[in-house]
Structure 1
Amino acid sequence: MNKTAIILGATGLTGNSLLLQLLEDDRYSRIVLFSRKSTGIQHPKIHEYFIDLFQLSNYKSVFKADDVFCCIGTTKAKTPNKDTYKAIDYGIPVSAAELCKKNNIPTFIVISSMGSNEKSKLFYNRTKGLMEQKVLKFDIKKTHILQPSLIEGNRKEKRFGEWIFKQLSKAMPLLKVGPLKKYQPVSENKIAKAMVYLANAEHKEIRIDNLTIHEIANSYD
């Protein structure tokens, strides 16, 4: 194959893992990155556009690919302002999906979250749910929405809530085998593996829950 991929969020934890995997994947000859800053990775496949992602809709002429991977996301700690938070977690993925529709890009894969629900009383879950709902309205030929639990990985910033969850998970074997298994943390590497698989395989499910992410990624190991 000679595919082109677009990654939004390649400087983040999961997006960076995805980028590294695509660089090793012979099916992809061109990887286009839209971000505010460089990943710092030099490779002949990489083509970077340094832009204001809030203005993504202005880049329709260069937003062209076979597969679009959206790994955009923030946290309450990093983005306490709710309007800015929504502009990131809802606005950017929706703008990307809209460009996919306008440019006839057949594949759009986006990371959401476990617990996403457009009717939730929790702002975070409601924002993710509304994003999913809007993305699906564009009716892109192949759309997959990943809903991971806690994402494990070596982040530059420390997240206290995630640290607490990790300590609890170490003390709870049921997260591995029991009814709570669906809540087990998932690494950024596994999420990236699942995204690449979904872009290149026939998979009926649109929403990919946490357990399915683990199952898809483990099939590679």
Structure 2
Amino acid sequence: MKIKAIITGASGMVGEGVLHECLLHPDVEEILIVGRRTAGYTHPRVKEIIHPDFFDLSPIKDQLKGYNACYFCLGASSIGMKEKDYHHVTYDLTMHMATILADQNPGMTFCYVSGAGTDSTEHGKMMWARVKGQTENDLMRLSFKAAYMFRPGFMKPTKGLKHVLKGYKFFTWMYPALKALFPSRVSTLREVGLAMINGTLKGYERPILEVKDIIKLAHNTA
């Protein structure tokens, strides 16, 4: 099986890291980056669509056909946001694109970057966790071949990439200690990317992937 993947958020740290692993992987034959601004990558296997309004993808809908994977790495911080606004840029935006993709590509595997601590009940105290929980739950109800909810914790950035968040740079040197002290909360960004690829190629036994699942799937070479 060869992967034709759509990647969102490639101008951010996680999306760029996933893109990097896709470019290195022999089973990823085509990549479509969809973003509001360019990710800055030129490669024979990469196409890019710059579309400023992710709340209305109808003008580019036909260009989203023919793909068997989506690695949805686009996201916004909830800091300083009211729940209504965060719900709009998280739930509404994600579901709009995912609904189109499920309709256009029924054989697609959809991987969504959520976060550790996401609230599947949708009724917890943390606003962002409730919204992410609702997003996860409704994504899993769409008609994808498979939908995987990724809940990473701290991710060690991939060396040499352009879009590493500033705060992560200060903590990278602590990764060995964090890994030893909190093995269920830390992974590498490389493992997140590889887990998405392996999830597309091989599947996984559960739809929600905590950090331990991400690491397990990343190293599944069977």
* TM-score (norm: length of structure 2): 0.82
Give CA-to-partner distance per residue, 1:156-197, whole Å, 9 cap, x none. 54349x979x97994794423xxxxx2x22222111111111
Query: Residue 72 of structure 1 contacts residue 88 of structure 1 at CA under 8 Å; is this kept in 2?
Result: no
CA distance in structure 1 between the partners assigned to 2:215 and 2:144 by the alignment? 25
2:115 paired residue number: 113
**Does 2:214 correspond to 1:213?**
yes
1:158 paired residue number: 166
**Does 2:205 correspond to 1:204?**
yes
Closer, same or farther: CA 74–63 of 1 in aligned 2, 3 Å: same
CA distance in structure 1 between the partners assigned to 2:208 and 2:217 by the alignment? 13
Q: Secondary structure at the match of 1:53?
A: coil
CA distance in structure 2 between the partners assigned to 1:198 and 1:143 by the alignment? 9
Cα RMSD between the aligned structures? 2.9
CA distance in structure 2 between the partners assigned to 1:156 and 1:111 by the alignment? 16
Q: Aligned residues: percent identity?
A: 22
- The alpha-carbon deviation at position 153 of structure 1 amounts to 2.5
CA distance in structure 2 between the partners assigned to 1:208 and 1:15 by the alignment? 17
- Ranges in structure 1 where 5+ consecutive residues have no aligned partner: 177-181
* TM-score (norm: length of structure 1): 0.82
Query: Residue 54 of structure 1 contacts residue 87 of structure 1 at CA under 8 Å; is this kept in 2?
Result: no
Query: Residue 5 of structure 1 contacts residue 30 of structure 1 at CA under 8 Å; is this kept in 2?
Result: yes
Amino acid at match of 1:215: K
Closer, same or farther: CA 23–214 of 1 in aligned 2, 3 Å: same
- The alpha-carbon deviation at position 9 of structure 1 amounts to 0.9
CA distance in structure 2 between the partners assigned to 1:203 and 1:218 by the alignment? 12
Q: Secondary structure at the match of 1:144?
A: strand
The aligned runs of 1:79-118 (5 Å cut-off) are: 80-106=81-107, 107-117=109-119, 118=122
CA distance in structure 1 between the partners assigned to 2:81 and 2:23 by the alignment? 34
- Ranges in structure 2 where 5+ consecutive residues have no aligned partner: none
1:140 paired residue number: 144
CA distance in structure 2 between the partners assigned to 1:156 and 1:14 by the alignment? 8
2:50 paired residue number: 50
**Structure 1 segments (4+ residues) deviating >6 Å:** 166-169
- The alpha-carbon deviation at position 5 of structure 1 amounts to 1.0
Query: Residue 13 of structure 2 contacts residue 165 of structure 2 at CA under 8 Å; is this kept in 1?
Result: no
Query: Residue 34 of structure 1 contacts residue 53 of structure 1 at CA under 8 Å; is this kept in 2?
Result: no
